[in-house]
A and B are shown apart, each in its own frame.
Chain A
Amino acid sequence: MIDSQQASEALADISEMTRRVRQSRIYNLASLMLIMWGALVFAGYLGSFLLPRYAGYLWAALNLAGVAGSFAISAFGYPKSGIRTFDVRMLIAFLLFFAFGFLCTSVLGHFTPRQMSTFWPIYFMLLYIIAGLWIGQAFVVIGLGISALALVGFFLIGDWFDLWMAFVDGGGLMLGGLWMRRS
């Protein structure tokens, strides 16, 4: 028979494994979402670069597609993982977050397209960074990396800014998703 110290250590091992498995399942589902959003964002910036006049409509359509896709990934993954990554509460949080961004960029201030294209990814990456403090450092690394490169583009890249952002934000999210699948 073992003593209480050894029993506590065994229970601590079990808790640690449970935490690791849960994090692994979250990463697995989140990586699918990152890859999907990365592809949508890539298309959005590419569209903004090629057809700037229609960029507003394009982004609205892509955001709706992203929300629908997030619901689909969450619903598909739930039976296997037991984890809901995108539910009604997440949708409300997403809408509140979006509304606050809109208030800042279009009501309180009037951002230029270039400022918008820099603000939104950094604003969303802030969410990744904050969430990462609880659910895993991969989110923090991806968030900080994309934010830093978005600022580099804002200050240093001229007319090619939207194309830069397509690769930095869209490509970054896709690469981050692939990296997360391996971690």
Chain B
Amino acid sequence: MAELDEIIHQPLRLKIMAALNALPAAAPGLEFSRLKKLTGATDGNLGAHIETLARAGYVAVEKAFVGKKPQTTVTATAAGRGAFARHVATLQEIIAASARQP
């Protein structure tokens, strides 16, 4: 059985990746404030976990100014989408394997 992706498996990072993967690949990603609302995380905690995912190459972070307000947009990369799909497949395998046991 494939190993779980330890970077994605952490609960908040799993939520971040799930949210980003729910968007079509062509979509422009999610703003930091929207991700915060969706995950229920604090600014600092969310920022730290996005940084971890970005270091792994799973998400891309783009900072821009809209008027005078800074706006951070987070997008799942192709590598991130692939890793997330494998992680979900592994989770499903674990459940299936457990169901096969007598």
Residues on A lying within 8 angstroms of B by beta carbon are 1-4, 7-8, 10-11, 13-14, 17-18, 20-22, 24-25, 79-82
Contacts and interface: CB of A to CB of B under 8 A. Distances in A.
30 contacts: A1-B94, A2-B9, A4-B94, A4-B98, A4-B99, A7-B91, A8-B95, A13-B11, A14-B14, A14-B18, A17-B15, A17-B18, A17-B22, A17-B38, A17-B39, A18-B19, A18-B21, A20-B38, A21-B19, A21-B23, A21-B30, A22-B22, A24-B38, A79-B26, A80-B24, A80-B27, A81-B24, A82-B23, A82-B24, A82-B27
Contacts of A80: 24, 26-28
The dominant DSSP class at the B interface is helix
A62 B76 CA distance: 41
A13 B22 CA distance: 13
Contacts of B94: 1-4, 7
B92 interface: yes
Nearest to A78: B24
Contacts of A13: 11, 14-15, 18
B88 interface: yes
A146 B56 CA distance: 49
Contact of B95 (A1, A7, A22): A7
A20 B21 CA distance: 12
A79 B27 CA distance: 7
A75 to B, nearest CB: 14
B6 to A, nearest CB: 11
Which of A2, A10, A25 is most buried by chain B, counting CB atoms within 10 A of its CB?
A10
Interface of B: 4, 9, 11, 14-15, 18-19, 21-24, 26-28, 30, 34, 38-39, 88, 91-92, 94-95, 97-99
B69 to A, nearest CB: 16
Contacts of B21: 18
Contacts of A10: 9, 14, 91
Nearest to A4: B98
Contacts of A18: 18-19, 21-22
Contacts of B39: 17
Contacts of B11: 13
A181 B95 CA distance: 38
A127 B95 CA distance: 41
A81 B9 contact: no
Contacts of B91: 7, 10-11
Nearest to B98: A4
A17 to B, nearest CB: 4
